[in-house]
Structure 1
Amino acid sequence: MTDKDNTDWAHTGHASKERAEKARRLAGYVWQRDITGADLLELPDPARRKLARAAGINPPSTDETWTLVADLLNEKDAWAARNPQHPAARREHADEKILWVKPPVRPWTAGP
């Protein structure tokens, strides 16, 4: 978003700081639900907005923030894989993943 002076307010230092903070909060909520960065980016926009609201966060208005969340999730996954015994590597709500990311549906096959 720009004004008459062509100031890009969405990319000021303050906006970047706010975006990063929102992404960290979202990533914390999403990671606890065992949702990967790839899972998150594949979710349709309405589902991502609903996920943000469930986290108590105003949904991001740009894909830039969601991409940052996905990057943070990937970093946390890598850290958790290297530190599996650390308490912060445990997901407290992994069973909720099914609420957000549906497993692929296997085709029904007719019997003989």
Structure 2
Amino acid sequence: MEPQEVDFAHTEGAARKRREKAVGLAKYVWDRAISGKELLDLTDSTLRKLARAAGSNPPSTMETWLTVAELLDQKSAWAERHPDHPSASPAHADEKIMWVKPPVAPWTD
């Protein structure tokens, strides 16, 4: 009988570490008022820079970023239900422009 190969990326320990990293990233991203959709629209390069700014090594797979986006959506829903709670407002919303660029309006004459 041959030994089975182990997929180390999908062990319980790996899932726990991925979740911990996602929570840390989500906290940083939430404080910059970036939505889950906006996060997933960012380029790979920008996601790496964002992770480093959050004090984290960039995730090696998109799986972590998908978890971050889910956490952001959950936090947004919670914030809508609790608008008066101090944690319902992003602390550094003014920094969003550093990561998510608004659409450029076309020139008109």
| TM-score between both structures, scaled by the size of structure 2 | 0.95
Which position in structure 2 is the counterpart of 1:51? 50
Aligned CA-pair RMSD: 0.9
Which position in structure 1 is the counterpart of 2:36? 37
The 5 Å alignment of 1:1-112 reads 5-109=4-108, 111=109
The residue type paired with residue 76 of structure 2 is D
* CA drift at 1:42: 0.3
**Whole-angstrom distance in 1 between the partners of 2:34 and 2:5:** 38
Q: Which runs of 4+ in 1 moved over 6 A?
A: none
* CA drift at 1:78: 0.3
* CA drift at 1:81: 0.5
**Whole-angstrom distance in 1 between the partners of 2:65 and 2:5:** 25
* CA drift at 1:23: 0.1
Range that drifts further, 91-100 or 4-13: 4-13
The residue type paired with residue 85 of structure 1 is D
What percentage of residue pairs aligned between the two structures are identical?
A: 61
**Whole-angstrom distance in 2 between the partners of 1:83 and 1:5:** 49
SS in structure 2 of the partner of residue 60 of structure 1? coil
| TM-score between both structures, scaled by the size of structure 1 | 0.93
**Whole-angstrom distance in 2 between the partners of 1:6 and 1:68:** 26
**Whole-angstrom distance in 1 between the partners of 2:104 and 2:5:** 48
| Structure 2 unaligned regions, length at least 5 | none
**Whole-angstrom distance in 2 between the partners of 1:51 and 1:86:** 26
The residue type paired with residue 52 of structure 1 is A
* CA drift at 1:82: 0.4
SS in structure 2 of the partner of residue 103 of structure 1? coil
